Structures are given as structure tokens and as C-alpha cells.
């Protein structure tokens, strides 16, 4: 084979895709799978808002199919700025926003804009894809393993020792894969430390920037509250790049409208990078989203209904796991806080399967749950955490409520077979 680029030859394979292939093969063979692996919505269960759907159809019928501006149409950037101002309290001008085909190109552009080869990038694990983006820019990986007692979110004490010479701190709240959120105190102390670090740097040094992925921020439950760096520390306005969009808030993962906002000099460079890639959101979807975001009553109604439906599923599965735990099974779960994810735990290593084989590691455990319980979930190892972590992400975006009792019954039977 011909040699390819160093990047191509060293790409890190996706554990989720690997697991997905195994699930697809089992389904092909006739096995019913409770597939809670994918961070997506089944449109038959969680459709996009009808108003947004109609706006998309109208935009195409009105022939809005030409190239959009590189930073997004002004109507959408203005609508997003108003949406963020009215709902999150952050006041940014429309010129500070960049529109793209979902959040991924924006994260890539932020990494490319801020990081040079060999520079330190700090990110907690488990977290989504920071290892891949750091690899893309050939940065120095600084992975901070988080702990369950902190809801798998990093603390200032864990992060500060790595701040020296770092250029990027990648944070996400609500967090993928855990569905947990920063407490005000947790995030405040981290932000306070970043401010202090940047004040200590000379004018010719690159600051420590924060990449703040808040794509799930509208999906919080109960007493959970979403906090962000700039609201807590206005001084961080010059150092924080936000990632956001409609994909999770409006079950619109395939519509591909994401936005980033932050310091104009960074946003402008990100725009330049993405303009060469052509990663813009389609014109019709931009027009439709701009019109939809101005419909405050429709948005409030949709979010209320959707959050109730997601939380119902998360709670039912959570309660099922707590019931199993109370019966003596080696499982656990964290109370749902946000997003579409439930954090669950299996302590099955060292147990013997019905075929006499031992469960030696997380891979064995994942395979057993898939084979005997038909339960497909993603281990935290797929998100950069310790390969032998017993914790998993369970996503309910494709979950049918009536299947939950059946799934829990099958899981209990599979657990009962272990010795």
C-alpha cells in the first residue's frame, strides 16, 4: 500500500462505530437489541418541531438553495443572538456568531484557530471527541480523569496543575457522555483559576482559552441549572469560545445548523478556515431556523414537551437500575440531571458467565450485556476514560417507553445467570 499522511495513518478508530457494527450484525441475525448507544433521536419518537419542519419546506419551495455567506445569513445570526440573550442572558452581537453545518466543524475550527502543533490541550475524560480533535492539530494531550463523586466533571484542583503553557481547556456542560452539569461552585473555581493564569502571562504569550461546548444546555431537569464561564466571570469574554446549535435542543441532529460565538478575532479566523472547507449549513435550513427561533411560544412549548418525554425515559430506567441495586445486583446509576444520557455502572468483573467463561474486563462485560441482555450501551472507555472503567453511557433518544420494563426484565435475567 502507498504511504499516506501521518494524520491518516494515525487516526484513532471510533469505539462507538465498532460497537455499532457489532449491533448491526446481531440485528441482521435476528436478535432484538435495545440500542442505547447512539447520541441521536429517532424522528418517529422525537420529531423536529412542526413549525421548523414547515419553515424548511417553505424555504425550499421559495428556492432558497444558493450559497449562504461564509459566516451564516445575517437573519440567522441575529435570531441566534436574540435567542441566547433572551434565554441565557449572554449579550453578544450578531457579528460575534458563526453558523456551520452542526457543532463538529465549529469545534474543529476552534482547535485549528487556537492550537499549534505540540501545544498543550487540557480536556477531562470521559468527554466526547476531544482526543480526536487534539490529534488532528497534533497537540499535546493532557487528559484529566474525572471522578464519580464530582459527577465526572473536572475540578479546579485537578486542572490547575496542568495550566502552565496550555493554550486550550475544552469543557462541556451538560456533559456528553454523562448527562451531568457543573455546579456553580465547580465552574466558578475553574474560571477563577483561568483568569488568574491569563493575568500571569506576558503580552507575547498565547492565553489559555476555554472551548465551552453547551450543545445540551436547554435540556436540564429538576434542580439542575446550566452555568457558563462568561456569566460567572465577564473577564473571560475575551477567552471563551462557545459551541451550540439546534441539534439536541430541537431533536434536529440531521438538519445541521450549529453556531459558535465568542471573541470576534477568533470567530473571524474560524470563519476563514470553514470557508475553505465549505462546512456551512445549507441556505434553506438557515432561513428556516432564523424564522423558527423568532417563534418564542412555539419554542417554549416544544422544549417543555420534549424535556418531559426525555426525562420520563431517563427516570424510568434510573428507577429500574436502583431497584436492581436494592435487590443485590452489582449495578448502579446516577440520577438524571440533563441531556439525553443516563450514567450507569456494572460491577461484573470476576463473575462467571453461563458458558463457564470469566468476565475479565470491560470488553467482556459489554459483550455479555449485548449478548445475554440485548442491551447495547457505550463504555466510558470510548470517551477517553480508563479502559477498565465500569461506567457506561445510556442514551434514550431512540427509546420507546413501553420497551423499558421488557429491557429491565431481560437485564435482570442476564444478571441472575452470573455466578
H-run or E-run covering 97: strand 97-100
Q: Which helix (H) or strand (E) holds 252?
A: none
pLDDT digits (tens, 9 = 90+) for 317-362: 999 999 999 999 999 999 999 999 999 999 999 999 999 999 999 9
Whether residue 124 has pLDDT greater than 80: yes
What was the pLDDT predicted at 1?
Answer: 59
Q: What is the pTM of this model?
A: 0.96
Calculate mean pLDDT across residues 45-67.
98
pLDDT digits (tens, 9 = 90+) for 384-410: 999 999 999 999 999 999 999 999 999
Q: Angle CA(214)–CA(216)–CA(218) in degrees, nearest 5? A: 100
Domains, the chain: 6-46+300-416 (3.90.1150.10), 50-295 (3.40.640.10)
What values do phi and psi take at 109, rounded to 5? -65, -35
Calculate what percentage of the chain has a pLDDT beyond 90. 93
Q: What is the pLDDT of residues 188-229, one digit of tens each?
A: 999 999 999 999 999 999 999 999 999 999 999 999 999 999
Burial of 319: CB neighbours in 10 Å, binned 0-12, 13-18, 19+:
middle
Mean per-residue pLDDT for 32-37?
A: 94
Q: Is the pLDDT of residue 17 over 80?
A: no
Please give the C-alpha separations between residue 47 and each of 63, 219, 305, 402, in angstroms, as whole numbers.
Answer: 24, 16, 11, 18
- Give the model's pLDDT for residue 167: 98
- Span of 14-28, 230-244, 369-383 with lowest mean pLDDT: 14-28
Q: Average pLDDT, whole number, for the chain?
A: 96
Reply yes or no on whether the pLDDT at 18 is more than 90.
Answer: no
Amino acid at each position: 500500500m502507498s504511504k499516506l499522511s501521518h494524520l491518516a495513518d494515525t487516526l484513532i478508530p471510533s469505539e462507538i462505530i465498532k460497537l455499532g457494527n457489532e449491533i448491526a450484525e446481531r440485528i441482521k441475525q435476528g436478535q432484538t437489541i435495545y440500542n442505547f448507544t447512539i447520541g441521536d433521536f429517532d424522528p418517529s419518537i422525537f420529531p423536529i418541531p412542526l413549525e421548523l419542519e414547515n419553515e424548511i419546506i417553505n424555504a425550499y419551495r421559495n428556492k432558497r438553495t444558493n450559497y449562504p455567506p461564509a459566516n451564516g445569513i445575517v437573519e440567522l445570526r441575529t435570531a441566534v443572538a436574540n435567542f441566547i440573550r433572551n434565554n441565557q442572558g449572554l449579550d453578544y452581537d450578531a457579528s460575534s456568531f458563526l453558523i456551520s453545518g452542526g457543532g463538529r466543524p465549529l469545534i474543529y475550527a476552534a482547535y485549528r484557530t487556537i492550537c499549534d502543533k505540540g501545544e498543550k490541550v487540557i480536556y477531562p475524560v470521559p468527554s466526547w471527541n476531544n482526543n480526536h480533535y487534539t490529534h488532528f492539530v497534533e497537540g499535546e494531550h493532557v487528559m484529566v480523569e474525572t471522578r464519580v463523586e464530582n459527577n465526572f466533571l473536572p475540578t479546579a484542583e485537578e486542572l490547575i496543575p496542568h495550566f502552565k503553557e496550555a493554550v486550550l481547556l475544552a469543557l462541556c456542560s451538560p456533559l456528553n457522555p454523562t448527562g451531568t452539569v457543573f455546579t456553580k461552585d465547580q465552574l466558578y473555581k475553574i474560571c477563577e483559576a483561568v483568569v488568574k493564569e491569563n493575568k500571569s502571562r506576558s503580552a507575547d504569550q498565547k492565553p489559555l482559552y476555554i472551548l465551552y461546548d453547551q450543545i445540551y444546555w436547554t435540556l436540564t431537569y429538576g434542580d439542575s441549572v446550566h452555568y457558563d464561564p462568561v456569566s460567572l466571570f465577564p473577564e473571560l469574554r475575551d477567552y471563551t469560545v462557545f459551541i451550540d446549535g439546534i441539534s439536541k435542543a430541537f431533536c434536529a441532529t440531521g438538519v445541521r445548523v450549529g453556531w459558535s460565538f465568542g471573541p470576534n478575532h477568533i470567530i473571524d479566523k474560524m470563519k476563514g478556515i470553514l470557508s475553505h472547507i465549505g462546512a456551512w449549513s445549507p441556505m434553506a435550513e438557515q432561513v428556516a431556523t432564523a424564522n423558527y427561533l423568532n417563534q418564542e411560544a412555539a419554542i417554549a412549548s416544544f422544549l417543555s414537551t420534549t424535556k418531559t418525554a426525555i426525562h420520563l425515559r431517563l427516570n424510568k430506567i434510573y428507577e429500574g437500575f436502583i431497584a436492581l441495586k436494592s435487590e443485590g445486583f452489582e449495578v448502579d446509576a446516577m440520577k438524571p440531571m440533563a441531556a439525553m444520557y443516563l450514567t450507569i455502572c456494572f460491577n461484573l468483573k470476576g463473575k462467571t458467565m453461563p458458558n463457564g467463561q470469566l468476565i475479565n474486563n470491560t470488553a467482556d462485560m459489554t459483550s455479555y450485556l449485548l449478548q445475554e441482555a440485548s442491551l447495547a450501551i457505550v463504555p466510558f472507555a470510548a470517551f477517553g476514560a480508563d479502559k477498565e472503567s465500569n461506567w457506561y453511557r445510556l442514551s434514550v433518544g431512540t427509546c420507546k417507553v413501553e420497551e423499558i420494563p421488557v429491557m429491565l426484565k431481560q437485564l435482570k435475567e442476564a444478571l441472575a445467570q452470573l455466578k
